[in-house]
Amino acid sequence: MAQEFPFVLNVIGPDAVPDAFAAALPAKRGAFITLSPQRAFDWPFDGDPAETLAAARTIAAAHNWDVNVVAAANRRKQLLIADMDSTIITVECLDEIADMMGLKPQVAAITERAMRGEIAFEPALRERVALLKGLAVHRLSRVYAERVRLTPGAKPLVATMKANGATTLLVSGGFTFFTQRVAADAGFDDHQANVLLDDGTRLLGTVEEPILGREAKLRALNGAIAENHLDPACTLAVGDGANDLAMIERAGLGVAFHAKPVVAEAAAARIDHNHLDALLYLQGYSEPEIVRT
């Protein structure tokens, strides 16, 4: 199938109708394949992928449908590397910590600029962490318990890929206090993040150097590729902010998830409307194959 039809139009969304996209596809195309009834389908084709994608997204613009074109070969990835804040979880942990000190507006404004790529990540992180100086360490547990929630679809994404032999890695410009807990909750094999420094009782307002940012996330991906002896084409990276761009552009399938414009424009694929299990449909998984617990 991949040789005859090297590309797949993948459509995800409520009541997505295959017939609506017939005009967007070139003449040489196969039969559409239902992945989830009335929610997701594939349509294999041979033709210009950029032209097909542009035409299909024009059709989908009036609906909450995510439309992408992916290569038919190597669809099921053997490595998942994922950002945490606003990707695997629904919040930005640093902003929520700041809220405990009544500083969320100031900190969130810096976070937004950094995620949009308007300012460098590392100095922005140092600036925000400095504002947290003096916060009692035990209050981090309250942030986790009260504010941190997994994004819908996170558990099925990780569980399904692991059930099919993939390695899963959570990488974050946030903090290990949260990544170790989120990784356990979502089922990731491993995690990497920054370390908040404290005196045993209160935060010092500093973070352990060097900071894990954009280039460190790329190194994490390259390290996982080497350690697992993978073809880069067999990897999937997902994130929402500018510090995720390097790993998203390097991965075989780089996905911008509800992302900032600079990320959405650069990524090979984007999910703007659906949950994280959409990344399984992008890989060609059908509903009966998805592990939902």
Q: Quick one: 64 and 187 in the same domain?
A: no
Residue in 42, 85, 198, 244 annotated catalytic: 85
Q: Which residue range is the domain that position 238 belongs to? A: 75-293
Whether 85 sits among the annotated catalytic residues: the reply is yes
Regarding whether 172 and 85 lie in a shared domain, the answer is yes
CB 43 within 8 A of CB 25: yes
Q: What percentage of the chain carries pLDDT values higher than 90?
A: 98
Domains identified in the chain, total number: 2
At 235-292, the pLDDT tens digits run: 999 999 999 999 999 999 999 999 999 999 999 999 999 999 999 999 999 999 999 9
* Main-chain dihedrals φ then ψ at residue 85, nearest 5 degrees: -65, 130
Determine contact, residues 68/10, Cβ cutoff 8 Å. Answer: yes
pTM for the model: 0.97
CATH number at residue 12: 3.30.70.260
**pLDDT level of residue 1 (50, 70, 90 thresholds):** low
Q: Which residue among the candidates 42, 46, 83, 244 is catalytic per the annotation?
A: 83
SS3 213: coil
The verdict on 48 and 100 lying in the same domain is no
Last residue of a domain, one of 32, 50, 73: 73
